[in-house]
Structure 1
Amino acid sequence: MTRIGFVGLGVMGSRMAKRLIDSGYDVTVYNRTSSKIEPLLRIGAAAATDIASLAAESDIICTCLSMPEDVWDVYEGETGILKNSLQDAICLDFTTVGMDTSVILAEKAKERGIHFLDAPVSGGPEGAEEGSLTIMVGGEQSAYERVLPILEVLGSNIHYLGGAGMGSVAKLMNQYLVAVHSLAASEVMVAGTALGLRSEQLYEILRTSYGDSRMLRRHMENYVLPRNFQPGGAVKYVLKDVKLANELVEKAGLVPRTGSGAAEALAVAVEQGLADLDMSAVIQPLEKQCSVVVKDSHIV
């Protein structure tokens, strides 16, 4: 049986690992915060004491981490994945990182006789739970084909995009729009409310007009109008993503005008102590600026 190692059991990783366990895979897990392992142990996962031992006993190693520096920490070094993996093992990195990070790690993996696929995902915790994620994969096609049955447990919209780094490029283009649409929706809702419109009525107009967007609906229905900003996807992670996306837009030869504005607004939100709230909290500094609160008027 294929042995899967899973490193990183946050909001996304824990749900993805659970789906693999529920589908009958032999899964060993590791997380720096050990308490996050317990629910998976109860449904059949095994626990690794460290990353090196997990890598040494896994045919496929999945990583789902928070930041690019976390990816380097997990893959590099004497106790990292690259130096301790089995020959011909496949590494599946679901983390959102820069294109260069994915390319370099793929090259280092190849030197050691293992395979590295950048496979960032989109769809949020609900997509991870339901197995409906969009998964964007870059790397060797033969390795991709070997792990496709596993990816099909996790996602319903799977794309092989070519060489190393292409999955990361696709994800960052998506995140550029996530950040820009989040800011645009926030500005419009705050401005309209400040000028005298009822927030929920303005939202109803926008969602049934050409101004509609998935981010507008997500933010207003689930977070802003009910005033519940528990993440989802935290402000600090979207700020990280849009900064990386802006670098790629510049690399392509364009000026990231809207992306720069989104990064600036998200950075202000972080400065105001909102880093760990849902990305929709980017609206709060704007509300403060205009002395309004965008909410359902039925909420006291």
Structure 2
Amino acid sequence: MQQEQNRTIGFIGTGVMGRSMAKNLLKSGYSMNIFTRTKEKAQELIELGAAWKESIEGVARDSDVVITMVGYPRDVEEVYFGEGGILLHASSGTYVVDMTTSKPALAEEIFEKAKAKGVEALDAPVSGGDVGAKNGKLAIMVGGDQEAYYKLLPVFEVMGDNIILQGGAGAGQHTKLANQITIASNMVGVCEAISYARKAGLDAERVLDSITTGAAGSFSLSKLGPRMLKGDYAPGFYVKHFIKDMTIALEAAEEMGLSTPGLSLSLELYQELAEQGDSDSGTQALIKLFERSNCYS
């Protein structure tokens, strides 16, 4: 493995989160190859010095570390296992890191197939939304071999400030699913709290000022609650991606024989929200369902 800052990082997927993560890596001095389905989404990174590659193959072939931040498990499978995919073209000694929230079993499969080629694989999903990505303050949950984790820790430290190796392959994904399960019920609670405050005739903004610093405090309450009050539904994290995450979590829980009623309810509500046209809104748009049903907006 090359010395720090001499490593060339390949980055595949420059959406809301990936773009900021890649930007921080560029600003810290790393050379970067990038590819995304829509080149225009990568234009800012190209202007900052990233080298555009015409294919995943080009990124895999010319990078020491390949980071992926794509949408769905099917996208992860295509990026890693497809005919032009990473594992077909990455050289022995390359490190690959999937930071997409995906299936633990898929992370284990990537790890095993990568190992057979002499490639080190980590699953490292993140939490912290668009704000955490922009500020380099993401929580990064890592699964894989300890040696590979420590080799890439300096890279992770550019993107996050809470970085923990959770265990072997798939452990990072399981941890992220636990994170999403927590957020799922919390988001319902935030919407209900705001609805209650408004129905009681209170100034909801003042209520948030009081409760965000107490035992009820959370990222959802302090960061997304104010966006709800302003009617700001711009995506820090898409509704459609949260539905994907919750679906994966529910399937994993069911496989383990675990009951998750809070997760099930939240998934139903977000699916209803998506059906009403908010798939591409931020997760805070859930408040719309409560506004409609409670008739106070």
TM category (shorter chain) comes to over 0.9
1:39, CA displacement in angstroms?
1.2
Residues 1:70 and 2:75 aligned together: yes
TM-score (norm 2): 0.93
Q: 1:16 to 1:201 in 2, by over 3 A?
A: closer
The correspondence for 1:6, drawn from 3, 7, 11, is 11
Q: 1:18 to 1:204 in 2, by over 3 A?
A: closer
Q: Is contact 2:131–2:236 with CA below 8 Å preserved after alignment?
A: no
1:208, CA displacement in angstroms?
4.9
The correspondence for 1:100, drawn from 87, 97, 105, is 105
Residues 1:279 and 2:261 aligned together: no
Residues 1:146 and 2:166 aligned together: no
Structural mapping, 1:19-34, within 5 Å: 19-34=24-39
1:201, CA displacement in angstroms?
4.2
Structure 2: which 5+ runs fail to align? 1-5
Question: Residues 9-38 of structure 1, C-alpha deviation per residue, up to 9 Å, x if partnerless?
Answer: 111111111111111111111111001222
Q: Is contact 1:138–1:166 with CA below 8 Å preserved after alignment?
A: yes
Aligned residue identity for 1:227: G
Moved more, 192-201 or 78-87: 192-201
Show the counterpart of 2:141: 136
Residues 1:178 and 2:211 aligned together: no
Count of residue pairs the alignment pairs up:
292
Question: Residues 241-284 of structure 1, C-alpha deviation per residue, up to 9 Å, x if partnerless?
Answer: 11212223333432011010010111010011011111011111
Q: Is contact 2:184–2:262 with CA below 8 Å preserved after alignment?
A: no
Provide the rounded CA distance (Å) in 2 between the counterparts of 1:78 and 1:202: 54
Provide the rounded CA distance (Å) in 2 between the counterparts of 1:139 and 1:132: 22
Aligned residue identity for 1:59: D
1:203, CA displacement in angstroms?
3.2
Moved more, 246-255 or 273-282: 246-255
1:181, CA displacement in angstroms?
0.3
Q: Percent identity?
A: 38
Question: Residues 132-171 of structure 1, C-alpha deviation per residue, up to 9 Å, x if partnerless?
Answer: 2111110111211211111111111110111000000111
Aligned residue identity for 1:234: Y
Secondary structure of the 1:210 match is coil
Structure 1: which 5+ runs fail to align? 294-300
Secondary structure of the 1:143 match is helix
1:192, CA displacement in angstroms?
4.0
The correspondence for 2:173, drawn from 165, 168, 176, is 168
Residues 1:228 and 2:239 aligned together: no
1:195, CA displacement in angstroms?
4.7
Q: 1:203 to 1:21 in 2, by over 3 A?
A: closer
Aligned residue identity for 2:80: Y
Moved more, 251-260 or 48-57: 251-260
Q: Is contact 2:237–2:283 with CA below 8 Å preserved after alignment?
A: yes
Q: Is contact 2:80–2:87 with CA below 8 Å preserved after alignment?
A: yes
Moved more, 97-106 or 244-253: 244-253
Moved more, 225-234 or 208-217: 208-217
Q: Is contact 1:102–1:168 with CA below 8 Å preserved after alignment?
A: yes
Provide the rounded CA distance (Å) in 2 between the counterparts of 1:126 and 1:204: 20
Provide the rounded CA distance (Å) in 2 between the counterparts of 1:85 and 1:208: 48
Moved more, 251-260 or 184-193: 184-193
TM-score (norm 1): 0.92
